[in-house]
Structure 1
Amino acid sequence: MENCCELCGRMTGLTRHHLIPKRVHRSESIRAKFSKEVLNQRIAKLCKACHRHVHRTLKERELAVQFHSVELLREHPDIQAFVDWLKDKPDDFSPRLSRRKRK
């Protein structure tokens, strides 16, 4: 489905999530690992709630090195739990923000 979130599957407004955050594109270690094309093309369509949760849960470097695909994001326990909770909510449901989860 074209208009559904790649994490939770809800049909709602989508945002573009750079799976390898743009802020780390200039890092030598990231450039050695990924081609310029890959850096610019790895984009996921996420609902605002999932996008916000991903960035509240993981640091940009973690996203680039360990969680640079939708499949890898789904394997993260905190994101998996959030998606499992959110996927059955109505499409117009927007969760309230809680404190940052990053450690």
Structure 2
Amino acid sequence: MSEPIRLPPQPDACELCGRAAPLTRHHLIPKSLHGKAYIRKRYPRHERITATLWVCRPCHSHLHATFGERELALTYNSRDALLADERIRSFVDWLSAKPAGFRPKT
């Protein structure tokens, strides 16, 4: 029998902007793509399930507004890859200076 898959624990702050705010789980490999052959070939089941980041709602919304799901899965599937993109880095830098309850207008 195999070990149960354990998800990473929730930290105290957003893993992108570092603010202490309510957090949501961002799947680095979007769940809607887990059944696709090109995803199943690239990532083992364990990685598809556990590759997540805990992020605040503004960061999460910005990620999905910036990238499509295929792009997230194939290119922006790590914290470092996300932060290497100037659109994410500039947003995160800007948001990190805001108070915990701040929510940007869309």
Query: Do they fold alike, i.e. is TM over 0.5?
Result: yes
Q: Residue by residue, what CA displacement relative to the aligned partner does 1:20-63 show, whole Å, maximum 9, x if unpaired?
A: 00111111111100000000001110000000000000000000
1:90 Cα deviation (Å)? 0.5
Q: Structure 2: which 5+ runs fail to align?
A: 1-9
**Paired residues for 1:7-86 under 5 Å:** 7-86=16-95
- What TM-score, normalized to structure 2? 0.89
Cα distance in 2 between the residues matched to 1:85 and 1:41: 28
Q: CA RMSD in A?
A: 1.1
Cα distance in 1 between the residues matched to 2:38 and 2:30: 14
Q: Structure 1: which 5+ runs fail to align?
A: 98-103
Letter in 2 for 1:80: R
User: Identity, % of aligned pairs?
Assistant: 42
Larger Rg: 2
Cα distance in 2 between the residues matched to 1:31 and 1:2: 28
Equivalent residue pairs, number: 97
Cα distance in 1 between the residues matched to 2:22 and 2:80: 21
List, as ranges, runs of 4+ consecutive aligned residues in structure 1 with deviation greater than 4 Å.
none
Cα distance in 1 between the residues matched to 2:14 and 2:79: 11
